[in-house]
Amino acid sequence: MKKIALFAIIAFGASNISVMAQKSNKKSMKKVLFVVTSNDKLGNTGEKTGFWSEELAAPYYELLDQGVEITIATPLGGQPPIDPKSADPASATEDTKRFDADKVLQEKLKHTHKLSTINQKDYDAVFYPGGHGPLWDLVEDKNSIALIESFYTHKKPVAFVCHAPAVLKNVKVNGEFLVKGKKVTGFTNEEEEAVGLTKVVPFLLEDALTQNGAQFSKGPNWAPYAVEDGLLITGQNPASSKLVAGKLLEKLGK
């Protein structure tokens, strides 16, 4: 009987340790919010746009594979539009192929959270993938603007890639543009001209951030290039997505 009781105590203790370990692990797991466009209209062209699949997929898997928990939010909630050009097989990468086959992520995208329901206190950082879509909705979205300001003032990293740095255009901290005096990058005027959309986009990202006082720098067209300035991380183009994710992981201590 004594042996049975001893084994029962040991088993109970081991069970408690396991539960505590699971709780501790969950508590220490980093949480990152992805904010994605809901806009599918490319200005007045009649063409479709949205988020660029590689710019979501590459950082998503870079973070997920390091044990980061990811939540996705959009202005309207539900399925965000994918830029059809980014789904072209000619633009495929290992990450987009994984994305196309990932049923869990596809289901997650169908049920994104509404941006208005999100609170920065529930996350350790925020990441914005690009595509042309954000230029028409997230740039002016009051919830997005307030959210970036809140993350930044609470000393949490804010990261953006390609066209996504454009959403910083109207973000202010203590009455000054967040980008003022900051080193940033993003989709360049030359790259916009190369894709033939200079006259279509509502503004040129490089010009807008420079006008707001940013120290804008860039690498060669289409080459990976990312800049970090304190809590602010920006990447130039789709090829820069993993660089941005890597810098964000460093900030998170992963």
Beta strands 113-114 and 125-128: pairing type? Answer: unpaired
Residue 4 confidence (pLDDT): 54
Residue 250 confidence (pLDDT): 98
Q: What is the pTM of this model?
A: 0.90
Q: Are 131 and 125 in contact (CB under 8 A)?
A: no
Residue 20 confidence (pLDDT): 43
Length of the chain: 254
Give strand pairing partners of 183: 215
DSSP-assigned states of every residue in 158-214? EEEETTGGGGGTT-EETTEETTTT-EE--S-HHHHHHTT-TTTSSS-HHHHHHHTT-
pLDDT values of the chain reduced to their tens digit, one per residue, 254 residues = 555 554 554 445 544 544 444 444 445 799 999 999 999 999 999 999 999 999 999 999 999 999 999 999 999 999 999 999 999 998 899 999 999 999 999 999 999 999 999 999 999 999 999 999 999 999 999 999 999 999 999 999 999 999 999 999 999 999 999 999 999 999 999 999 999 999 999 999 999 999 999 999 999 999 999 999 999 999 999 999 999 999 999 999 97
Other CB atoms within a 10 A radius of the CB of residue 20 amount to: 10
Residue 232 confidence (pLDDT): 98
d(CA 2, CA 81): 65
